[in-house]
Amino acid sequence: MSSYLIRGVRVLGREWTDLLLRDGVVAETGPGLDPSGAQVIEADGLVALPGLVDLHTHLREPGREDAETVETGSRAAALGGYTAVCAMANTSPVADTAGVVEQVWRLGREAGLVDVQPIGAVTVGLAGERLAELGAMAASAAAVRIFSDDGFCVADPRLMRRALEYVKAFDGIIAQHAEEPRLTEGAQMHEGEVSTRLGLTGWPAVAEEAIIARDVLLAEHVGSRVHVCHLSTAGSVDIVRQAKARGVRVTAEVTPHHLLLTDELAASYDPVFKVNPPLRTAADVTALRAALAEGVIDIVATDHAPHAVEDKECEWAYARPGMVGLETALSVVLSTGALHRDGEPDWDLIAERMSRAPARIAGLAAHGHDPAPGAPANLTLVDPAARRVVDPGELASRSRNTPYAGTELPGRIVATFLHGRPTVLDGKAVK
């Protein structure tokens, strides 16, 4: 296996150093390392981060390979600086058996661009009626630890309680898509002033908050772990803050788009802005940014949700909700300033929210390590000074549904290394 010398990089924005990657690990660090035998990568001006980890990715395979495959989604992830992604279970067939999660896991290994960790469904067919084979998925080669019916809420409290109890045996997590379905029937966007003006049926904040409140109580009652997917309202932040203060084992994620975009964008009637949960108000965005910085929200997760053209380029009411996000996530987070300190990116905090904490939550032992001697060589190099205009046609994702077309964003991923091998060099996918 070849070795790589990354020359003159600032690890987490700190002092300049060289990094020697060999045999899948960071072999040596320090200024002026001997480059002989290694491929040299000049990293003047670049920042090294632990490879980003996405706890919430939709890869669409099996079933909707026209929208994304494990391979195309993995390439998009690598280009976004990711070295691991957790693949959501709402595929077709649903990832609710050992067979399907093993298939996704194997496809991830074959693509070899990021580590793909399958998430298993909580209920058979995401139907919310009976528990899927959680134990068999946990015991499979895919070693599933996170279970989610994402796309749907596990609305039945008794089923949610049993799922939480079941996964305790192997320290698993239930990741909840918090949406009380009776409160969102026919919903098209956030319920508020803008939905009233546009005459669209609203998705009220309380539909999310009611489920989160219930679930933290259930997790507390049974002593199990719950993770809140794509938390989107100021009220949800308060509930999670209170639960954490009581010692409830709850973690939460926010998406880049909920940190930047608001419900005003629905006035364009452009379905690219249709997403679940919906874009909220500016006040919610402000609360989410503060909660992420504070740590009430543990991580950024993309909820990368690729959709085929016919599912997005249609009337708002018929469009599927969801946005692609892997290739723009870090740039969007940088653009919000949510993880800045004194006007500059706080790279240590960015590493915490986008790599270490998600790796810890998901139990991905090879990820989330700062580049230091002996650490697995899963890392990414960022050019913080670069800016780019997002061109949907240039995305590696098979789908084009980015809300940032034509938007100039800061930061560029220059290189990504997975287990010591480059998956991205000079901003381009290696394979």
Answer for which of 64, 145, 162, 177 binds ligand NCD (CB under 6 A) is 177
DSSP one-letter string for 75-140 = HHHHHTTEEEEEEPS-SSS-S-SHHHHHHHHHHHHHH-SSEEEEPBPSBGGG-SSSB--HHHHHHS
- Is 321 an interacting residue with respect to ligand NCD (CB under 6 A)? yes
Whether 337 and 359 have beta carbons less than 8 Å apart is answered as no
Length of the chain: 431
- Known catalytic residue at 303: yes
- Is 150 an interacting residue with respect to ligand NCD (CB under 6 A)? yes
Whether 179 and 207 have beta carbons less than 8 Å apart is answered as yes
Please identify, using beta-carbon distances, which residue of 62 and 337 lies nearer to ligand NCD.
62
Report helix angle 157-167 to 205-222, nearest 10: 50
Binders in 247-306 for Zn ion, by CB under 5 A: 303
CA atoms within a 13 Å half-sphere pointing along the CA-CB vector of 346: 14
Q: Is 378 annotated as a binding residue?
A: no
What stretches of 187-303 adopt beta strand conformation (E)?
Answer: 189-190, 202-203, 225-228, 250-254, 299-300
CA atoms within a 13 Å half-sphere pointing along the CA-CB vector of 42: 1
Please identify, using beta-carbon distances, which residue of 27 and 260 lies nearer to Zn ion.
260
Answer for which of 149, 263, 303, 383 binds ligand NCD (CB under 6 A) is 303
Tell me the per-residue interface mask from 71 to 110 with ligand NCD, x by CB under 6 A, - otherwise.
-------------------x--------------------
Please identify, using beta-carbon distances, which residue of 320 and 353 lies nearer to ligand NCD.
320
Tell me the per-residue interface mask from 296 to 325 with Zn ion, x by CB under 5 A, - otherwise.
-------x----------------------
Answer for which of 117, 188, 232, 276 binds ligand NCD (CB under 6 A) is 276
Output DSSP code: residue 355.
I
- Is 305 an interacting residue with respect to ligand NCD (CB under 6 A)? yes
Interaction partner, residue 322 (Zn ion, ligand NCD, none; CB < 5-8 Å by kind): ligand NCD
Whether 155 and 186 have beta carbons less than 8 Å apart is answered as no
Q: Is 257 annotated as a binding residue?
A: no
The string over 22-51, giving b where at least 16 C-beta atoms fall within 10 Å of a residue's C-beta and e elsewhere, is bebbbbbbeeebeeeebeebebeebbbbbb
The pair phi, psi for residue 48, each rounded to 5°, is -95, 130
The active-site residue, picked from 149, 303, 311, 383, is: 303
Binding window for ligand NCD (CB under 6 A); candidates: 154-162, 241-249, 315-323, 381-389:
315-323
Question: How far is it, in rounded angstroms, from Cα 311 to Cα 86?
Answer: 24
Answer for which of 150, 215, 263, 383 binds Zn ion (CB under 5 A) is 150
Residues placed in the known binding site for substrate: 58-60, 90, 276, 307, 321-322
Residues placed in the known binding site: 56, 58-60, 90, 150, 177, 230, 276, 303, 307, 321-322
Binding footprint of Zn ion on the chain (CB under 5 A): 150, 177, 303
Binding footprint of ligand NCD on the chain (CB under 6 A): 58, 90, 150-151, 177, 275-276, 303, 305, 320-322
Active site residues: 303
